[in-house]
């Protein structure tokens, strides 16, 4: 048995998973790795604050993220692990001063943080997501990972067939269009821009082929919690939730239309997500609409979406065995 630590450092949050990797016997001589969680942690640090505008990581954002990394290092030391992998994604990719952040992580954890390209981010998200999707779910799957700085669309059955990483996330869209709140004009501008990004992405991923639409990461799980009427964050209810399109739409409209203090007071809303969830919800809504529309051209009816609590963090952990 191998004990691994995985850290996913995104634009809005930094997350830790420490898990034991256990092997399950399959047909013939095959063995499949499965994770037994010891701890999952998340801190919202907004590392990507202003990166889209300035091209650099803000010093305060770097320090917030390194402080969370120090906290994670203590947890890792207490649990003891065989390996650590630290993966940093969109915000760090885009920053000209990323070396300063990378050196800080190296000093704290003693490992080289990896600033991965969007294609690898997509592949890790897909591997993590499919590890928990029912084998009977219609294939191919489209795994949608909406982060703070980027969104990954990954199509495949058991392995990645097509993938694209789009520089479009909840923080990025908020900073571009919604810094003064959401009104009819700002929402229309955001939606128009999101649709343009999806137009370009459709050249890389054939959305008409989608059999099952799977959403992962914080935007999707938060929208799902609202759709389920939860009063606290309950991952056991969120994971595997199947929502019809009307449920998703109602939850999206809530996140777009309600004032930030109302969203901040929700029992399942992590502190620091309330001001960017409207943008994330709009991205999720437009992705769903595009998939439904494109699938219909091939006679596929997509009338529900699946939420998975397993995502790039699980993919990072599994990549170590």
Kindly indicate the confidence band of residue 31, based on its pLDDT and cuts at 50, 70 and 90. confident
> Has residue 131 got a pLDDT over 80?
no
CB under 8 Å to 237, separation ≥6 — which residues?
Answer: 228, 230
Residue 317 is encoded by which pair of tokens?
């952990």
Distance CA 115, CA 121 (A): 10
Mean pLDDT score, 278-284: 98
Which SS3 state, helix, strand or coil, does residue 52 take?
helix
pLDDT digits (tens, 9 = 90+) for 97-119: 999 999 999 999 999 999 888 88
Distance CA 138, CA 140 (A): 6
> Has residue 78 got a pLDDT over 80?
yes
Mean pLDDT score, 275-285: 98
**What is the helix (H) or strand (E) element at residue 216, kind and residue range?**
strand 212-216
> Has residue 134 got a pLDDT over 90?
no
pLDDT score for 94: 79
The DSSP letter of residue 273 is: T
Residue 230: count other Cβ atoms within 10 Å of its Cβ: 16
> Has residue 206 got a pLDDT over 90?
yes
Q: What is the mean pLDDT of the chain?
A: 94
pLDDT score for 246: 98
Q: How many CA atoms lie within 13 A of 155 on its CB side?
A: 17
The full set of domains in the chain, from first to last, is 2-116 (3.30.420.40), 120-313 (3.30.420.150)
Mean pLDDT score, 286-312: 95
pLDDT score for 303: 96
Residue 163 or 132, more confident: 163
Residue 164: count other Cβ atoms within 10 Å of its Cβ: 21
b/e map 73-108, b = 16+ CB within 10 Å: beebeeeebeebbbbbbbbbbbbebbeebbebbeeb
pLDDT score for 52: 85
Mean pLDDT score, 117-135: 87
For residue 284, which phi and psi values (nearest 5 degrees)? -60, -45
pLDDT digits (tens, 9 = 90+) for 230-277: 999 999 999 999 999 999 999 999 999 999 999 999 999 999 999 999
**Percent of the chain scored above 70 by pLDDT?**
100
């Amino acid at each position: 048995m191998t004990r691994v630590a995985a850290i996913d450092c995104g634009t809005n949050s930094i997350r830790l998973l420490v898990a034991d990797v256990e092997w399950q016997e399959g047909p013939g001589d095959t063995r499949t790795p499965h994770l037994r969680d010891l701890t999952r942690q998340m801190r919202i640090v907004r590392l990507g604050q202003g990166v889209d505008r300035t091209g650099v990581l803000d010093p305060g954002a770097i320090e917030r993220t390194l402080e969370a990394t120090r906290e994670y290092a203590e947890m890792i030391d207490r649990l003891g692990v065989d390996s650590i992998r630290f993966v940093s994604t969109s915000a760090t990719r885009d920053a000209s001063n990323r070396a300063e952040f990378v050196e800080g992580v190296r000093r704290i954890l003693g490992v080289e943080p990896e600033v991965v390209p969007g294609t690898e981010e997509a592949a890790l998200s897909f591997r993590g997501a499919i590890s928990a999707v029912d084998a009977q779910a219609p294939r191919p799957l489209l795994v949608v990972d909406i982060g703070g700085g980027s969104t990954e669309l990954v199509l495949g059955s058991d392995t990645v067939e097509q993938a694209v990483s789009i520089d479009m996330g909840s923080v990025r869209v908020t900073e571009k269009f919604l810094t003064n709140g959401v009104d009819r004009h700002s929402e229309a501008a955001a939606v128009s821009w999101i649709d343009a990004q999806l137009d370009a992405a459709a050249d890389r991923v054939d959305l008409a082929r989608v059999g099952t639409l799977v959403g992962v990461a914080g935007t999707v799980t938060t929208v799902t919690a609202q759709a389920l009427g939860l009063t606290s964050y309950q991952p056991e209810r969120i994971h595997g939730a199947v929502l019809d399109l009307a449920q998703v739409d109602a939850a999206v409209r809530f996140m777009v239309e309600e004032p930030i203090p109302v969203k901040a007071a929700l029992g399942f809303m992590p502190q620091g997500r309330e001001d960017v969830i409207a943008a994330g919800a709009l991205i999720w809504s437009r992705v769903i609409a595009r998939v439904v529309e494109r699938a219909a051209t091939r006679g596929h009816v997509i009338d529900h979406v699946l939420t998975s609590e397993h995502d790039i963090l699980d993919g990072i952990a599994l990549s170590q065995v």
